[in-house]
Chain A
Amino acid sequence: MILEVRDLTKIFGGLKAIEEISFKVKRGIILSIIGPNGAGKTTLFNCLTGVLPSTKGHVLFEDEDITQRRPYEITEKGIARTFQNIRVFNSMTVLENVMIGQHSRSREGLLTAVLGTKKFQREEDEIRSKALEYLEFTGIQDYAATLAENLPYGDQKRLEIARALATEPELLLLDEPAAGMNPQETMALMELIKKIREWGKTVIIIEHDMKVVMGISDWIIVLDHGVKIAEGTPNEIQNNPYVIEAYLGKEEVDLLS
């Protein structure tokens, strides 16, 4: 088990955004979290990554309790994420964006930078070459010197993934990676996510596009109104009457075809 969530609850004011959610994630799988809008998927991500403090419950990453840690500490431990609305560093180049991802895997400080020591130079070179590798892996190496804000939408999403990979995570959380992509881009994205799994990383994605979900997931969790209503393999979920009733409803036809 790479991740274990126990009774995780988040209350905003009086509103329960997620309520006593528990699940376990096996190493090396692709897990999809689905559910209608407002089901609490992004809130769950925010609680897992420390962006929001959870009200109750525990998150264990590689058997270590990370519940009340700050986001940067969680990243250091090996969980990386992307955001639902793109949050690239707009006025920096694509390469610089990915180099920032290497932050927690490098340590040279102010003094060595000023002196320009050999060790500093070596580390800088390493950061740069690794960043280029991640750009190549995600297929946006041609844009290395472009400002991130000038990148097309789909490539900004790839940049977010490259940047997250650059933090060298064991577990990668992707928040609606296929949203707003055309079918070709979606296909390529699915390949990319599979490639990440082959690399030995664990991936959790939030996704609305059922083709993506059913096409790549090893396991699916369904949330509705902040509560986990089902989990299982894609096959099980497709045939789960609760899911069809509570969530899929209109999309049923879509799903079965």
Chain B
Amino acid sequence: MTADTAIAPHGGQTLRRSTRYRTLRRFTRHRLAMFGLVVIVLLVMACAIGPSLVPFDQFQLNMRARFREPFATVHILGTDELGRDLLARLLMAGRISLTIGFAAMVIAVTVGTIVGTIAGFYGGAIGSALMRFVDAVLCFPTIFLLLTLAALVSPSILTITLIIALTAWMEVARVVQGQIRALRERDFAVAAEAMGAPDRWIMFKELLPNAVAPIVVAATLIIARGILLESYVSYLGYGIQPPVASWGNMLEKAQQYLTTAPWLALLPGLMITLAVASFNFLGDGLRDALDPRSDLT
């Protein structure tokens, strides 16, 4: 071809940088999301390395130091009815809650993405059947399902995670299905089809990377819900079993001492609120930041 048509891409680099930069800036300007992110990072770090810094074991009983108030003794956050260090227990419980939240998220996102992609890509009878199934599962009251299942299987971290994932994947499936169905109509998907690309290629190489943003948002919200559900089930006694600590079962035990030792209930409650709210804020912030339309204002 003639040389005159060979013109370097104009302003490309700046454009690309600025798209990413704008997304980042929209996110960093979202105060609640930034708050959420900081809290999550602190929480994860504390739960990961905290227990080894605290000079007490979560199971270590001390009948001579029961119901110590926070900030009064070497037990910084006080002790419970068996004299166990509350800080150690809160951090260990946090490990469990966060692990369950993350693990449930990974499972739910994987299952939901696969189901949603297949349903959105094929449409027709397969798509309708899959999505009607998703609708049917969604119609089930989550808590009821959760409690029924928890009553049937012996509670452990693994089973609780699976049960929570089971109640969470449908939303991902719906989001992904909608996205894939819309993307399937775009010309670049038709182009892949015209190239003779196999279905796998079109689904996973062409379409799915364009649906990442809503999946990430859904994933954050699932973590929040997972943490909340775990607390819920544990609080009702079907979840993590004592003496292993979980924010939910700590709360349950603390009920009896609500008037005499209110910090036993307040602290796990605060942790739950903080963790759940932070993930929700993060999800909101990501949604706003990843949505290019929010730039038009």
State yes or no: do A and B come from one complex: no
